[in-house]
Copies of this chain bind each other. A is one copy, B any other.
């Protein structure tokens, strides 16, 4: 990282000033600034509804230009006092009321193509966020907030809510032309990247399972995995799946009732998510 402000700095460092003195001096200067971009975060937020056995992703309908009436990922500006990760946690709280920790989120990728926002220079760092509940505060008046059911068939992702359908090819990173709904900005790319990341990492760092909250059964984990593999969960062999998963979880005692043999409960081993 270089941050040479040419003349002024150079003159200064040639004196044998201390670091502290330098900073004090530096901040007192009103140095000519480089042009700087707006920096935002975009959240690819997931939740899982046990009753419906549905994996869901949050999108917001834009009521303002640009991309008026298109669907967009929730997000917002990064504040000078916070890291992008903290920004992601704050936005999630504001948007859904859910308080997450660093274990529930993962930095995805930073998108910075010039003109990705028609209004000007905006760089965004995207995050995966896994909520342990399908919670939602009322959308503000500028937006229409919806949890979309996700369904994968091969490389094709279908997002649906009520009568709305959005279809994406997550390898080509583009929408299928059929769907009348649009995605704003480069959010097709972000969403595609998100799914590819989750699919690629779930067998060695299954952070996606934090959608199941504190504890869960093997079968629930199978169901979550099946959503990203695009298969029925029963095609994932319980016995073999458990062998794999045991590397990442520990048994916790908790045995609720229900039909059939009660299942054991497991919790994720924190160290594997770091």
Contacts and interface: CB of A to CB of B under 8 A. Distances in A.
Interface stretch (A106-114, A206-214, A226-234): A106-114
Contacts of A65: 9, 12-13, 17, 19, 22-23, 26
A142 interface: yes
A114 B19 contact: no
A4 B114 contact: no
A200 to B, nearest CB: 9
Q: How large is the interface on A (under 10, 10 to 19, 20 to 34, 35 or more residues)?
A: 35 or more
Contacts of A120: 27
B184 A13 contact: no
A247 interface: no
A253 interface: no
Contact of A64 (B9, B36, B78): B9
Contact of A3 (B4, B85, B119): B119
B123 A73 contact: no
A2 interface: yes
Nearest to A187: B1
A81 B4 contact: no
Contacts of A187: 1
A66 interface: yes
A261 interface: no
A84 interface: yes
Contact of A35 (B64, B67, B72, B80): B80
Contacts of A118: 19, 23
A10 interface: yes
B125 A112 contact: yes
Contacts of A77: 2, 34
Interface of A: 1-4, 9-10, 12-13, 17, 19, 22-23, 26-27, 33-40, 42, 63-68, 72-78, 80-85, 107, 109-110, 112-114, 117-125, 142, 184-185, 187
Across the A-B interface, give the 6 residue pairs with the lowest CB-CB distance, nearest first. A22-B65, A13-B64, A36-B36, A1-B75, A83-B112, A84-B112
